[in-house]
Structure formats: structure tokens, C-alpha cells
Amino acid sequence: MISEIYSVFSPSGREEKMREYIADKISGIFDKVESDNFGNLVARSGNGDFCIECSMDSCGIMIVHIEDGKAYFAGVGGINAEYLIGKKILFCDNSIGIVRYDGKTPNEAKVSDLYLECDSSNLKIGDFGVVKSGYCETGDKMFANGLGSKIGLAAVLETLTKFEKIDNLCVLFSSQKRLGARGIQAFLGANEFDKIITVEGVADKSIKACALVVADRNGVCNTDFKDELEKVIDNIAVTDDDLCMGNITASGKGAKCAALGIPVSHKDKNFECVKKTDFFSGADYLKEVIENLQNKR
């Protein structure tokens, strides 16, 4: 399943293929699976006050200018120039372009200095592209470009597909999270929950194994919710990453928020790495949290 997820085209703002993929995977597990006006995918059973959030988008590029056979682009979702140089860019029609930089100092490059070497006749202004994943495994390790952006989604799907049916739970597969948590803001502006867990990849300088993240750059976990989750997840961590806990906590009437962090080494660099043991620990933790929630009802 993990390699499949990384082959699905889903840059921020163009997540329709990922919505279709996820809806097919969780069909029958929830009472309702539907998209909202913003492009989020929402799976619901019952009217519970607990929600799990994970993103379904990835960073990418958008074509802004084509001249003399070169396609110039803007970054979508915080992607940096030095990382992009030399990468293969995949488009929705499966065409490929190579990112080029004609300067001598890559560390000083801006995205506006870069262009694509490709068949520009196939492209038009506004087309979206993503860095081609190149997913691979060796031993206990998984590697891919952009692994950290989808590892949370992979863990949530790994968990959900272990259930035949789930009661009293909402799962938000959010769109445009790499563009400032826009899908989260749109959904939680119209829906309120008492408790929300976000599942994300976290730089492994912050955590060394799958952990309950009780504070990120912009938010902190409610003490009572932390104590409840500690009964399941015994590894506690704080991170400087922005996991959008602040956006979630301040939503609606205010929500108790925590994060399940899966460590990602070489985050935001070439071929990010996640240990399989950490990934499956995260899925097991999440399954136990869901089961405990159902047993209390």
C-alpha cells in the first residue's frame, strides 16, 4: 500500500486522484465517505466528537511561464530551490521534465531561477507537477522523495483497513495542508470536535521513535487529553516542526489536539527515510486509540 500511495499524483490543490484512491480503500468501513467544497475527503460513522486528521497532498510546482522551450514554475507548498535542482518532475499526464539551473551556486538559487527541460508543447500555464518519488525499500528502511508528506496518510490507511466497520469516528483527509492548513481551516470552521489527533511525519532530530507529540511550533496538547493518550502511547515528544496543532486547537469552540509523530530522517532533502518499525508502531498505536474510544461508548 505504501508504494501505491507514493505513486498517486496529489500536489496541493490537485488532490482528486488521491481522493479517489482513499475512498476506494476505505469503502464500507464508514457510514459516509464524501468530499466537501474545499476538496477534503471526510469519512464519518456516527456522531462522535473524536476526529483523526491526516493530509493527502504533497509539495509540488506550478507552471507560470513558457519561453524558448523552457518551462518556468513557482513552488507549491514550501518546496525549496536547492532541493529541486536535477529532480524529475512528474505531471498529471505522466510526462516528465528535468529541473535545470544555469548558475554556479545552487545554495543561493531561487525557485524563479529554475526551469524545466522537457517537451514544453505538452505543458500550459497553471499545470501542476510533483517531484517523482522513486520509492524503494531496503531492510527496515523506506526511502522516497517527499516521504514525510504522505507517511501520516499511509499510517492512517494502514490502521483503518484493519477494521471491518468503525463506529463514532470522523477521519479528515485534508487538502492543501502544505499551503497553510487551508483544508483543515475550512473543515473545522464548519465542524466541531472535542478531541482531534493529527498524524504526521516529523524530523527525526525531534523524535527517535514513533511518539505522542504534545507540542509543536504553534500548539500544545490539552493536559487531560495527553494523560488519556499516554495510556496507549508511552513515548512523549516535543517538536519544532509545524504539525498544524495550533490551527486545530483554535478551531471552532476549541479542540483538544495531539499529534502522532512518525520520525523521518533527512526530512525535506533527497530521499527521505522512515523505518518500517516506526511506521507500523504508529499504525498499531492509532488502532488501539480507536478501539479504546469505541469501548468507552
Radius of gyration of the chain (CA): 19
CA–CA distance, 193 with 247 (Å, rounded to integer): 13
Confidence band (pLDDT; 50, 70, 90) for 26? very high
Residue 238, C-alpha cell as written in the block: 516535543
Pairing of strands 50-55, 169-174: parallel
* Distance from C-alpha of 246 to C-alpha of 231, rounded to nearest angstrom: 24
The enclosing H or E element of 132 equals none
For residues 234 and 74, which has the higher predicted lDDT (pLDDT)? Answer: 74
Q: Quote the CA–CA distance of 153 and 26 in Å, as a whole number.
A: 12
The DSSP H or E segment spanning 155 is: helix 147-160
Domains and CATH numbers, the chain: 2-58+146-295 (3.40.630.10), 60-131 (2.40.30.40)
Mean pLDDT score of the chain = 92
Run of H or E including 178: none
> Could you read off the pLDDT of 127-166 as tens digits, one per residue?
999 999 889 999 999 999 999 999 999 999 999 999 999 8
pLDDT mean over 82-104: 93
Give me the pLDDT at residue 221, please: 94
